[in-house]
């Protein structure tokens, strides 16, 4: 295994790889993947025990000319690294680390395999390019879906609500602050001057005391006061969430071959606090396409960007999903509890500085009232997007069937009637307009040796003129290759979005545009998502209404036209209403109410 990370200093290499319990984040209050210092050293120990071969480490930091190469084993009697061989070599990369070890194992494919672990890692780390070479030589590459690195989690001071007695004693002894008052205000988070005064009153200690002098029963009084006084909640700067955009990109990148028909806007609720430690929950959901419709939905569980493959039934994420009545949201579920069935994948990520795992193996998240509540609310928010999509698809399918029947039957009726009365067949477009009352967006994909073309035709089958804004969302890697005719009014290449203000469409009026790609571009028709603004969603066929979480400021002409249509509808008593362009619900947050 090799990477192009920052590398490891020579003095740290033996301890990192060949010393158990050499953790990377002890007393560090920030989100991190490692925790106890067991993982890689346990793998080295297992390789030593099963094959008697040392691990071969190559690591280089950018500031050094050469890479350090060490062969390491673990002295199990002393829990100390043993250097078998060491060398300096020139390496063809500026920085990075390579780990080579030989161990006795059975390689398998399935839900708990290395492939599935790396597949999950690629979804929640779309900035990484991961290559897996299996024992039979099969090479699997998960290409990166984002070029930007995620922001580093900032280390913050510990919050008193999360301190235990031993931890408080350690900090009191290790601090360089001369007085207890400065220790509380500068070395702990959330302690305001008002709170400090209350703390000293409750524990009967002087703020001028040296922190190291607080011992025994005085430490217990101080800790009790810290837990009783109302403090400022800890900051979420120590967290590194994935974010709505990257969740969607990661799912598209890895699940693309399944061609899901719907990617729900990912939901990220504001950070909450559990026992003095901030945490937040993120949920992504995809539906339809090539996903199996008659099997339980697939659950992708993550903690601090790490896939959780084992003990699914014992995990708080699974419990939260099983406790929701998914029948309300369009999925099958016997009895209203348990894992639902349907063509769906749900991704749940929990980010925190201290996740309560069920065991040191970190295979599942333990149940906790605060985390359970956030899991349920966030999953329900994503499920509401699914319910709206299924309802919209049902309405669209009904309108599409109705449209097809009308276009097939009315011309035949007109032809026969005209023949009977001896007159030419009338133009049926106004009749179809009165019956349908929709704006139809029709697109198809044509592929030949010259190009991949996606022509789009927008027809106004409503009784009033329309001024509309048309949007398209394309996977960013395909968007970079796209050519548009006519040129869009605006683009946002990083998100794969383009939009046009269409010319005013009279009743029965049409307009056309085209998206074109090079001939071998890996793009399908359902990779292009079309959205329309300027008309109520009940009057759209072939596209979706503009999502409220896009935060798009529409041109004034679009808003005025929609307001005029709403006013006309109110005057005539029709059902068409104004579109809510400033929808409150967005992927950045959701209401606490279900």
Check which CATH number belongs to the domain holding 10 and give it: 3.30.565.10
| Residue 383 forms part of a structural domain | yes
* Residue 326 pLDDT: 94
Three-state DSSP at 234 gives: coil
From start to end of 372-476, where are the E strands?
Answer: 438-443, 446-447, 452-461, 469-473
DSSP 375-387: HHHHHHHHHHHHH
Query: Both 476 and 522 in a single domain?
Result: yes
| Residue 164 forms part of a structural domain | yes
* Residue 33 pLDDT: 55
Nearby residues of 279 by Cβ (< 8 Å), 6 or more positions away: 239, 271, 272, 273, 350, 351, 352, 353, 355, 370, 371, 374
Cis peptide before 486 (omega within 30 of 0): yes
Distances (CA, A) of 371 to 56, 365, 586, 588: 41, 9, 21, 18
| Residue 568 forms part of a structural domain | yes
Query: Both 371 and 438 in a single domain?
Result: no
| Residue 417 forms part of a structural domain | no
Query: Both 381 and 259 in a single domain?
Result: yes
* Residue 286 pLDDT: 92
Output phi, psi for 22, to 5 deg.
-95, 80
Query: Both 220 and 296 in a single domain?
Result: no
pLDDT along the chain (594 residues), means of 10: 86 85 54 62 86 90 90 86 90 90 85 88 88 89 81 79 85 90 88 89 90 90 90 80 84 79 85 83 91 91 91 93 92 88 94 86 89 94 88 75 77 82 78 77 88 92 88 87 92 88 89 92 80 84 79 72 67 47 36 43
Query: Both 252 and 214 in a single domain?
Result: no
| Residue 490 forms part of a structural domain | yes
Query: Both 361 and 278 in a single domain?
Result: yes
| Residue 133 forms part of a structural domain | no
Q: What is the total count of domains within the chain?
A: 4
Q: For residues 190 and 346, give the distance between their C-alpha atoms in angstroms, rounded to a whole number.
A: 35
Check which CATH number belongs to the domain holding 210 and give it: 1.10.8.50
Name 60's bridge partners: 96
Query: Both 441 and 386 in a single domain?
Result: no
Nearby residues of 495 by Cβ (< 8 Å), 6 or more positions away: 245, 473, 476
Closest CA to 67 of 151, 9, 135: 9
| Residue 114 forms part of a structural domain | no
Under a CB-based contact definition with an 8 Å cutoff, are residues 594 and 377 in contact? yes
Distances (CA, A) of 395 to 179, 320, 399, 471: 69, 30, 6, 21
Kindly state the DSSP code that residue 327 receives in the 8-state scheme: G
Could you tell me the residue range of the domain that residue 562 belongs to? 427-572
Check which CATH number belongs to the domain holding 466 and give it: 2.60.40.1170
Check which CATH number belongs to the domain holding 294 and give it: 3.30.230.10
Query: Both 194 and 220 in a single domain?
Result: yes
**Final residue before a domain boundary, out of 85, 105, 125:** 105
Query: Both 251 and 332 in a single domain?
Result: yes
Q: For residues 454 and 452, give the distance between their C-alpha atoms in angstroms, rounded to a whole number.
A: 7
Longest CA span, the chain:
110
Query: Both 310 and 439 in a single domain?
Result: no
Tokens 């360089």, residue located? 176
Q: For residues 57 and 15, give the distance between their C-alpha atoms in angstroms, rounded to a whole number.
A: 12
Query: Both 222 and 248 in a single domain?
Result: no
Q: For residues 132 and 119, give the distance between their C-alpha atoms in angstroms, rounded to a whole number.
A: 10
Q: Is the dihedral of CA 332, 334, 337, 340 positive or negative?
A: negative
**Final residue before a domain boundary, out of 184, 202, 228:** 228
Closest CA to 155 of 78, 85, 238: 238
Name 455's bridge partners: 514
Under a CB-based contact definition with an 8 Å cutoff, are residues 477 and 452 in contact? no
Query: Both 294 and 376 in a single domain?
Result: yes
Under a CB-based contact definition with an 8 Å cutoff, are residues 389 and 67 in contact? no
* Residue 572 pLDDT: 56
| Residue 418 forms part of a structural domain | no
Tokens 């009697």, residue located? 77
């Amino acid at each position: 295994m090799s990477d192009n990370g920052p590398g490891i200093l020579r003095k740290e290499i033996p301890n990192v790889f060949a010393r158990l319990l050499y953790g990377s984040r002890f007393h560090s209050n920030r989100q991190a993947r490692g925790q106890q210092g067991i993982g890689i050293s346990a793998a080295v120990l297992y390789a030593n025990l099963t094959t008697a071969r040392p691990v071969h480490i190559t690591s280089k930091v950018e500031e050094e000319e050469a890479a350090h190469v060490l062969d390491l084993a673990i002295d199990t009697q002393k829990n100390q690294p043993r250097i078998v061989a060491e060398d300096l070599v020139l390496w063809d990369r500026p920085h990075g680390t390579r780990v080579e070890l030989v161990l006795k194992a059975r390689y398998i494919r399935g839900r708990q395999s290395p492939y599935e672990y790396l597949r999950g890692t690629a979804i929640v780390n779309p900035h990484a390019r991961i290559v897996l070479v299996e024992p039979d030589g099969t090479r699997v590459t998960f290409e990166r879906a984002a070029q930007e690195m995620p922001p580093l989690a900032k280390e913050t001071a510990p919050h008193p609500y999360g301190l235990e007695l031993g931890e408080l004693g350690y900090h009191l002894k290790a601090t360089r602050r001369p007085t207890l008052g400065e220790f509380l205000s500068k070395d702990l988070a959330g302690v305001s001057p008002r709170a400090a005064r209350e703390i000293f009153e409750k524990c009967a200690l002087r703020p001028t005391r040296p922190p190291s002098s607080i011992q025994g029963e005085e430490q217990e009084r101080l800790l009790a006061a810290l837990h009783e006084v109302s403090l400022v909640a800890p900051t979420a700067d120590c967290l590194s969430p994935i974010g709505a955009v990257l969740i969607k990109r990661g799912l598209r990148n890895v699940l693309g071959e399944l061609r899901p028909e719907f990617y729900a806007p990912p939901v990220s609720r504001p950070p909450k606090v559990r026992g003095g430690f901030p945490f937040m929950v993120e949920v992504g959901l995809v539906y339809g396409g090539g996903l199996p419709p008659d099997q339980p939905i697939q659950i992708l569980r993550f903690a601090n960007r790490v896939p959780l493959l084992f003990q699914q039934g014992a995990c708080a994420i699974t419990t939260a999903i099983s406790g929701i009545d998914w029948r309300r949201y369009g999925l099958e579920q016997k009895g209203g509890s348990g894992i639902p069935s349907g063509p769906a994948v749900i991704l749940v990520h929990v980010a925190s500085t201290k996740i309560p795992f069920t065991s040191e193996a970190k295979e599942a998240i333990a149940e906790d009232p605060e985390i359970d509540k956030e899991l349920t609310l966030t999953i329900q928010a994503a499920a509401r997007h699914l319910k709206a999509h299924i309802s919209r698809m049902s309405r669209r399918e009904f309108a599409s069937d109705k449209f097809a029947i009308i276009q097939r039957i009315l011309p035949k009726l007109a032809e026969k009637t005209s023949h009977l009365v001896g007159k030419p067949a009338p133009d049926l477009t106004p009749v179809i307009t009165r019956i349908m009352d929709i704006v139809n967006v029709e697109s198809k994909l044509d592929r030949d040796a010259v190009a991949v073309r996606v022509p789009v035709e927008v027809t106004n089958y409503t009784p009033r003129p329309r001024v509309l804004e048309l949007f398209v969302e394309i996977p960013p890697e395909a968007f970079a290759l796209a050519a548009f005719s006519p040129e869009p009014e605006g683009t946002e290449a990083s998100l794969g979005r383009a939009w046009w203000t269409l010319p005013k469409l009279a009743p029965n009026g049409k307009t056309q545009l085209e998206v074109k790609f090079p001939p071998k571009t890996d793009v399908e028709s359902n990779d292009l998502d079309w959205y329309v603004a300027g008309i109520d969603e009940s009057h759209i066929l072939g596209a979706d209404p503009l999502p409220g979480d896009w935060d798009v400021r529409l041109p004034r002409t679009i808003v005025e036209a929609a307001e005029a249509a709403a006013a006309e509808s109110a005057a005539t008593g029709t059902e068409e209403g104004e579109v809510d362009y400033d929808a409150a619900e967005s992927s950045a947050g959701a209401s606490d109410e279900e």
